């Protein structure tokens, strides 16, 4: 929440142009739900807009694949319970836009 407040109060980002997902064990969301919300945000942007993707959490690398670990991720079931990071995913979600993952 601190990052969203900084962006909207100090950096002139409009609140309606920010997406804040509070991923907790009580408020679990599936990888598809999260990616869908990100896609909605991207669809509402225009070419040249900057989209900052910030994930404060853990990752996992296995069998040559990188994943973002979610509160509901099950060890060994990363393909279905975590978010797989791929260059293709970035291209599909962010065509013609700058994508920064920090």
Beta bridge partners of 60: 67
Count the domains in the chain: 1
CA distance 52 to 18: 9
Q: Is residue 70 part of a domain?
A: yes
Q: Is residue 12 part of a domain?
A: no
Cβ-contact 78, 71 below 8 angstroms: no
Domain that holds residue 43: 23-101
Q: Is residue 95 part of a domain?
A: yes
Please write the tens of the pLDDT for every residue from 4-52. 888 888 887 777 778 888 888 888 889 999 888 888 888 887 777 777 7
Q: Is residue 10 part of a domain?
A: no
Q: Is residue 85 part of a domain?
A: yes
Q: Is residue 1 part of a domain?
A: no
Q: Is residue 78 part of a domain?
A: yes
Please write the tens of the pLDDT for every residue from 61-100. 999 998 999 999 999 999 999 999 876 566 666 555 554 5
């Amino acid at each position: 929440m601190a990052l969203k407040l900084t962006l909207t109060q100090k950096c002139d980002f409009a609140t309606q142009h920010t997406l804040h997902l509070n991923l907790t064990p009580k408020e679990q969301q599936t990888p598809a739900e999260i990616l869908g919300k990100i896609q909605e945000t991207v669809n509402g942007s225009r070419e040249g807009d900057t989209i900052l993707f910030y994930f404060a959490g853990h990752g996992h690398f296995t069998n040559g694949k990188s994943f973002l670990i979610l509160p509901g991720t099950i060890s060994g079931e990363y393909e279905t319970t975590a978010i797989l990071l791929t260059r293709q995913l970035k291209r599909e979600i962010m065509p013609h836009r700058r994508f920064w993952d920090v």
